[in-house]
Amino acid sequence: MVNTEWKEYHLRDIGPFKKGSGISRDESSTGSIPAVRYGEIYTTHHNYVRQYKSHISGEVAQRALRVKYGDILFACSGETKEEIAKCVAIADEKEVYAGSDIIVLSPTLKTDPIFLGYILNTADVIQQRAQLAQGDAIVHISVPAIQSIVIAMPEYEEQCRIAAALSDIDALITNLQKLIAKKKAIKQGAMQELLTGKRRLPGFDGEWDNVEIGENGYLLRESINPQVMPLSMFSEYSMPAFDDGKKPNRVAGADMHSNRTAISGNVLLFNKLNVRQKRIWLVCATEKNAICSSEFLPYCSDAISLRFLAHVLGTEEVTAYFIGVSTGTSNSQKRITPATFLEYSLYAPLEITEQNAIADVLDDMDREINKLTLNLLKLQNIRSGMMSELLTGRIRLL
Looking at the chain, the domain(s) classified CATH 3.90.220.20 span 7-153
In angstroms, the Cα distances linking 326 to 310, 330, 377 are 19, 11, 36
Is 290 a residue whose pLDDT tops 50?
no
Looking at the chain, the domain(s) classified CATH 1.10.287.1120 span 155-203+351-398
Q: What is the pLDDT of residues 32-58, one digit of tens each?
A: 999 999 999 999 999 999 999 999 999
DSSP secondary structure string for all residues of 138-193 = SEE--HHHHHT-EEEE--HHHHHHHHHHHHHHHHHHHHHHHHHHHHHHHHHHHHHH
Q: What is the pLDDT of residue 265?
A: 43
CATH assignment, 207-350: 3.90.220
Is 185 a residue whose pLDDT tops 60?
yes
Rounded Cα gap, residues 259 and 240, in angstroms: 33
Q: Which CATH fold would you assign to the domain 155-203+351-398?
A: Helix Hairpins (1.10.287)
What top-level class would CATH report for the domain 7-153? alpha beta
Q: What is the mean pLDDT of residues 67-78?
A: 96
Q: What is the pTM of this model?
A: 0.76
Q: What is the pLDDT of residue 329?
A: 65
CA 151 and chain centroid, separation: 30
